[in-house]
Copies of this chain bind each other. A is one copy, B any other.
Amino acid sequence: MRIIVDCMGGDNAPRELVRGAYAASLENSASFILVGDSAEIQRIAREDGLDLSHFDIIDASETVFMDDDPLTVIKAKSNSSMAVSLRMLAAGEGDAVVSTGNTGALFTGATLIVRKIKGIRRPAIAGLLPMECPVLLLDSGANVSVTEEYLCQFAVMGSIYMQKNFGIRSPRVGLLNNGAESCKGTPLQQNTYKMLAAMPEINFVGNVEADKVPFNACDVLVCDGFTGNILLKSMEGMGRLVKKTLKKVFYANAVTKLSALGVKKNLGAELSRLDSSELGGAPILGISKPVIKAHGSSDAKAVKNAVKQAIFYASSGTIVNIAKEIKVYVPTEGGTAN
């Protein structure tokens, strides 16, 4: 197993990428290809005392930045670390790519360079929400607009991913909506509800409201990428607000500081369960080879976990199964435009 790590472009690149890949190499038998500013990568390794002699380091002079247009990756910056990483994957010089870079560019690059699985209309970023039980959210932000057919394919891809990677035999698929009843939402949700309910290949459990998502309502949650982004970031923001509030309470005075000592360990452990960095990155499902998007702000631990996930995903048979089972889903009536 050869993991290609796009070392540039994230908030903490390349340092945390190098550190994370190195940490992953100690725990996994995979080999590693680091792509990016090779002088900088070597400098970081020296500073941190990391032995990269068993790593391949591929120099890529350019970086796709967070505010670059997604198409940059195949046009102006076709020599960027991201583009080089994806071309190596496409050419079979590695088995998976992990990147913390520009989400839109990675999605576009994966689609145009690595290519979709045959029959897939649109790939989706499948983020794992760190809830009571993990929930796979797709699309997590790539496709701001979707059709009923995309959502049906997301449901199939997400189900296969949760089967193959989490051992859930019949993953429960929910449709993110503003109410439980089948009539809720816009025509997109109303039509999709009917189509999902008629698909024997998935275990559709109906509409799921956003406040039910944390409490084991489903294993796979499908929605358009705009709404997925709002859900994901609302939860992140609220989590941060509560943490900030807890800190304020615990640092208020001597008594509360003493109290903090008593729960610190347990509280830390429980809150880190709700921390997305524990769960690694998000695969772009529907791409013919494994591409994992890790959070832009990933630290070494998050990168290490994303690499672990990439290894597991690449050997899980998910992609082969998606290729075998994917179908075309034609809206039953009306349907929304693309």
Q: Select A229's contact among B144, B210, B225, B266, beta carbons within 8 Å.
A: B210
Asked if A26 is at the interface (CB within 8 A of a chain B CB), the reply is no
**Contact call B242/A274, Cβ cutoff below 8 A:** yes
Give Cα A231–Cα B185 distance, bound, in whole angstroms: 14
Given that A210-B234, A214-B240 are known contacts, is A256 also in contact with B262, CB under 8 Å in the complex?
A: yes
Q: Which residue of B lies closest to A184 (CB)?
A: B144
**Contact call B258/A262, Cβ cutoff below 8 A:** yes
Q: For residue A181, which residues in chain B have a CB less than 8 angstroms away from its CB?
A: 67
Q: For residue A212, which residues in chain B have a CB less than 8 angstroms away from its CB?
A: 237
Given that A214-B241, A226-B178, A245-B271 are known contacts, is A252 also in contact with B266, CB under 8 Å in the complex?
A: yes
Asked if A176 is at the interface (CB within 8 A of a chain B CB), the reply is yes
Bin chain A's interface residue count: 35 or more
Instruction: Report A160-181 CB contacts with B as 1/0, cut-off 8 Å.
Output: 0000000000000000101001
Q: For residue A241, which residues in chain B have a CB less than 8 angstroms away from its CB?
A: 131-132, 214-215, 274
Q: For residue A213, which residues in chain B have a CB less than 8 angstroms away from its CB?
A: 234, 237
**Contact call B226/A186, Cβ cutoff below 8 A:** yes
Given that A210-B234, A231-B230, A234-B210 are known contacts, is A242 also in contact with B240, CB under 8 Å in the complex?
A: no
A-B pairs, 9 with minimum CB distance: A259-B262, A210-B233, A234-B234, A211-B237, A211-B233, A178-B229, A214-B241, A259-B259, A238-B238
